Amino acid sequence: MNIQCSLGAILLSILLGGCSIDYNEAMIAEVLAEDIPDTILYDFTRVEVKDGKPLYRLQAEKAESFEKQYISNLTSVLFQEFDEEGEIITEGQADRVTYFTNTENAEMEGDLTFYSKREGGSVSGEYLFWENETKILKSKTEYTVELEKDSGSTITGTGFEADFTTEHIIFTGKTEGTWVDEEEDSAGSGSEQ
């Protein structure tokens, strides 16, 4: 009986000695899983409706959702906001948008153009970041942003920041352009500064 137990122990040690659990493969699979979207949608459209009327429409050629990272990546994006009569009051497009679902912030890149009928003007550039909590739209300091008003004002500069709560716009870097004073222009004098 001692011989059988010893033989069994030797066989068991040989079998288990040749076996190893590779935790690295499991960790690599978990890291790779973070790079794989939970959901991929093509020709995606989302319409937010309130009291039977559309508030906004978001369209994207492709939408990828990464739930663990609270991120949605959108490509070839078109955004439209509607007034109570169903007329478009804001419209914009971007090549790429990263939307952070936990904060409702958005990072927009590529060919960006947004027009607001309410503000009577547009903003365009290659990079903008929307901070939802503070209602601030800003660019990185190295990117140029152009503001253009229906009145004829055009300002181009770097270090752009617009505070939608206080309605203040600043450029911290080099800025150039022409600003038309709308009050004087409507009175007929049309001054430029």
- pLDDT for the residue numbered 133: 95
Sign of the torsion angle spanned by Cα atoms 68, 46, 103, 63: positive
The rounded distance, in Å, linking the Cα atoms of 73 and 51 is: 29
Decide which of 12 and 129 is more confident. Answer: 129
- The answer to whether residue 186 is domain-embedded is no
* Residue 119 belongs to a domain: yes
Residue 8 lies in a domain: no
Amino acid making up residue 19: C
State pLDDT tens for residues 68-119.
999 999 999 999 999 999 999 999 999 999 999 999 999 999 999 999 998 8
- pLDDT tens sequence across 38-72: 899 999 999 999 999 999 999 999 999 999 999 99
Q: Is 130 among the domain residues?
A: yes
Q: Among residues of the chain, what percentage have pLDDT more than 70?
A: 77
Residue with tokens 């109570």: 84
CATH of residue 47:
2.60.450.10
Per-residue tokens: 101: 């679902």
Among candidate residues 116, 110, 98, 145, the one with its CA nearest the CA of residue 56:
116
Q: What pLDDT is recorded for position 65?
A: 94
Cα separation of 32 and 76, whole Å? 25
Spell 110-138 as b/e; 16+ CB within 10 A means b: eebebbeeebebbbbbbbbbbbeeeebbb
Q: Which 3 state secondary structure label does DSSP give 10?
A: helix
Q: Tell me, what's the pLDDT at 35?
A: 81
| Structural domain boundaries, residue 64 | 42-176
Q: Angle at the Cα of 139 (from 79 to 165), degrees rounded to 5?
A: 70
Number of domains in the chain: 1
Within a domain: 18? no
Calpha distance 74→64 (Å, rounded): 6
Which residue carries 């959901």 as its tokens?
A: 39
Burial class (CB in 10 A: 0-12, 13-18, 19+), 183: exposed
Q: Greater confidence, 110 or 13?
A: 110
